[in-house]
Amino acid sequence: MPEPIHQVTFQPDNITVDVYRHGENLLRVAMAAGVHINASCGGNGTCGKCKVIIDQGKVESEHSAKISDEQWEQGYRLACRTKVIDDLIITIPPESRIDNSALKRKTGGQRHILKARDLNTLVQGLTINPAVFKCYLELPPPTADDNMSDLGRLMREIKRAYKYDHISTDFHLLRRLSRVLRQAEWKVTVTLVYNPKGFKLIDLEAGDTTKDNYSIIIDVGTTTVKGQLLNLEECRIAHSNANGTDADNENLCAEDAKYNSQVRFGEDVISRIVHSQKKGGLEELQQAIVGDINDIITQLLKSADIRDDQISHLVIAGNTTMTQLLLGVDPKYIREDPYVPTANFFPPVRAVEIGIKLPDYIHLYVFPQVSSYVGGDIVAGVLGSGIFQREELTLFIDVGTNGEIVLGNADWLVCTSCSAGPAFEGGGVKNGMRAAAGAIEQVRINPETYEPMVITIGSQKTMGICGSGLIDAAAELLLTGIIEPNGKFKRDLDTDRVREGENGWEYVLVYADQTASGIGDVVITEGDLDNLIRTKGAIYAGCRILLESVGLSFADLDKLIIAGGFGQFINLERAITIGLLPEIEPEKFLFVGNGALLGSRLVSFSREMMKDARRVADMMTNIELANNMKFMDEYVAALFLPHTDTAAFPGVMKILKGSG
């Protein structure tokens, strides 16, 4: 674990917490510590409710019209607009706080969210040797006595300088090979790509461009598409220099995300497959996702201020349907019993051939799949989290639009997929959205006043609610008794926030005057809760079935890894409270964030990892849940908060009884 940088003590409750990042937002520190401060605008400074007094230590804080000059002199600040740059003692004035007793009992659970720099440590023996790499060469110019072909001369020098032999060549490069060699006066940089059959020469540039070696990695999700731009060269340098260098921060140059434009043709993979069977449907879907990827690439290049010819590699991980649609491969049979994908291993293809706007030498690596419903994103997650290398019995859960689950260790891996629905990515949720700026990602509710404390991503005006916010909100609604275990609102509470709206009963998280323009009230409806319960129920049931298939139970697990696009601040206890996760020892949980990007990053950095990706996909034995009656029983049993089998959640039940 990293060392804390600052400590903040909150008064009057005398709660001290460690802060790991210089400049951390004070409202977030309070939220993480389980210290309630009123905040109804998401953290953008407009409601003015989160006033605190800085008793000791330095902060950076914005002036606000909500704080008088007199208050400012007394040390009043808005917590949401204040950065922690020192050890602090803070007093929360009465108007900003509530009695914390109801909340304090629920804090204390450890959050194992790994920081980016720790992710590479999940896998063992990672050496940095990117699958696509560059070599600088100075060739002797041809003479009458040495006038072999240009390609032969290049290969001879690669062999002499780097010992690589039997390199194949991309045909398209040959068309400019001779010109570039001469324009560069025989001082050139070659780009080679590793593949299972050896090396392939894909690009040639004038001069020494070895420093320009970037990879773009894309997670093609059913609901959300995410991209990152990685600097492969910086990573190599960082890795070779020393331990403790923050390699990951160095090499992550930019990131971007957007909704998958295919959403307009259907929310889940099944509706997309249905659309693909219409005339022109496959082309529409293919062009939609390629357009999204092109948009993301444009944005990444712009953010990092680099040219497209500095890119060497494109790595994409997606579920099986997304992968086939991206490649223009008809997904029809994924949906038809017995659920057969076209291929699990896709040959390398030049990105331009599927319409991606990158220079024509760039090859697309597509993560291998396991089955129709366990795709490359899951293989990437299993790879990235190192399960396949360890003896520990690990359960890996990736919560996206589908919930995919993998169980096993270095010796065996079984996996399955359950139709979880896109609730955690904002789908099927009235004010749902993906984890982007303005999304509510953390929620606490005052058990007495039923008033919420919400924080949005980027402390922006509220736009909606993302997965982690939804889990928080559902758990809080349950813990505060606003909803029943069946997800229905109590009709008789003394608060205006619970009301009958257009879509039935709902709870108002943020009123329209505190949300972004045009958004209106941000609410959670009974329909949203229903979707959430079905989602969490499917995942929990899937885990049970997978464990049962090998004669094990949750108690046997050494580790439970959670991947997925919930947003940054998923709260373990809240996830257990609603029965999404089993009630096991908190120290067994590990959150790894986006598994697809995690694995893609490793494959960009390491050709051994690329080999391992194939091996992992081969290792994974798929278990089908469709038509599985035991799964249906488990699913129905899980459609309750936390579960109909209350004995499996003793801790949650104890709290519920205490608060009820």
Residues that bind its own copies (CB under 8 A): 142-144, 146-153, 168-171, 174-179, 182, 197-198, 327-330, 332-333, 337-349, 353, 369, 371-372, 622, 624, 627
Rounded least distance, CB 296 to its own copies, Å: 22
* Closest CB to its own copies among residues 349, 493: 349
3-state secondary structure of 78: strand
Per-state percent for the chain, helix, strand, coil, to nearest 5: 35, 25, 35
* Closest CB to its own copies among residues 170, 208: 170
* Closest CB to its own copies among residues 93, 348: 348
Rounded least distance, CB 200 to its own copies, Å: 9
Residue 201: Cβ-neighbour burial (10 angstroms; 0-12, 13-18, 19+): buried
* Closest CB to its own copies among residues 338, 518: 338
* Closest CB to its own copies among residues 364, 387: 364
What's the token pair of residue 442? 């953390």
C-alpha–C-alpha distance, residues 39 and 49, integer Å: 6
497 sits in which H/E element: none
C-alpha–C-alpha distance, residues 482 and 492, integer Å: 9
C-alpha–C-alpha distance, residues 451 and 103, integer Å: 13
How does DSSP assign 424-462, residue by residue? GGTTTSTTB--SSTTEEEEEEE-TTT--EEEEEGGGPPB
Residues 6+ apart with CB under 8 A from 629: none
Rounded least distance, CB 629 to its own copies, Å: 14
Rounded least distance, CB 362 to its own copies, Å: 15
* Closest CB to its own copies among residues 164, 345: 345
* Closest CB to its own copies among residues 173, 524: 173
Residues 6+ apart with CB under 8 A from 181: 139, 150, 153, 154, 188, 204
Rounded least distance, CB 551 to its own copies, Å: 20
Bridging pattern class, strands 252-259 and 198-206: unpaired
Rounded least distance, CB 202 to its own copies, Å: 11
* Closest CB to its own copies among residues 353, 484: 353
Rounded least distance, CB 187 to its own copies, Å: 17
Rounded least distance, CB 348 to its own copies, Å: 8
Which of 656, 648, 639 lies closest to 488 in space, CA to CA?
639
Which of 190, 181, 191, 189 lies closest to 142 in space, CA to CA?
181
C-alpha–C-alpha distance, residues 251 and 234, integer Å: 6
Torsions phi, psi of 510, nearest 5? -140, 130
Q: What residue type is assigned to position 312 of the chain?
A: S
How does DSSP assign 284-338, residue by residue? HHHHHHHHHHHHHHHHHHHHHT--GGGEEEEEEEE-HHHHHHHHT---GGGSSTT
Rounded least distance, CB 289 to its own copies, Å: 15
* Closest CB to its own copies among residues 190, 465: 190
C-alpha–C-alpha distance, residues 452 and 655, integer Å: 19
Torsions phi, psi of 129, nearest 5? -145, 85
DSSP 8-state code for residue 655: H
C-alpha–C-alpha distance, residues 78 and 90, integer Å: 12
* Closest CB to its own copies among residues 129, 168: 168
Which of 581, 580, 578 lies closest to 485 in space, CA to CA?
578
Rounded least distance, CB 328 to its own copies, Å: 6
* Closest CB to its own copies among residues 283, 558: 283
What's the token pair of residue 438? 């303005």
Rounded least distance, CB 131 to its own copies, Å: 17
Angle between helices 269-276 and 281-304 (to 10 degrees): 120
Rounded least distance, CB 548 to its own copies, Å: 18
* Closest CB to its own copies among residues 178, 303: 178
C-alpha–C-alpha distance, residues 496 and 409, integer Å: 51
Rounded least distance, CB 537 to its own copies, Å: 24
* Closest CB to its own copies among residues 43, 341: 341
Which of 483, 489, 472, 501 lies closest to 573 in space, CA to CA?
472
* Closest CB to its own copies among residues 171, 494: 171
Residues 6+ apart with CB under 8 A from 429: 423, 465, 470, 524, 528, 531, 532
3-state secondary structure of 234: helix
Q: Terminus-to-terminus CA distance in the chain, angstroms? A: 37
DSSP 8-state code for residue 45: S
Rounded least distance, CB 337 to its own copies, Å: 7
3-state secondary structure of 1: coil
Rounded least distance, CB 166 to its own copies, Å: 8
* Closest CB to its own copies among residues 470, 619: 619
* Closest CB to its own copies among residues 402, 462: 402
Q: Judge contact between 466 and 439, C-beta under 8 A.
A: yes
Rounded least distance, CB 172 to its own copies, Å: 8
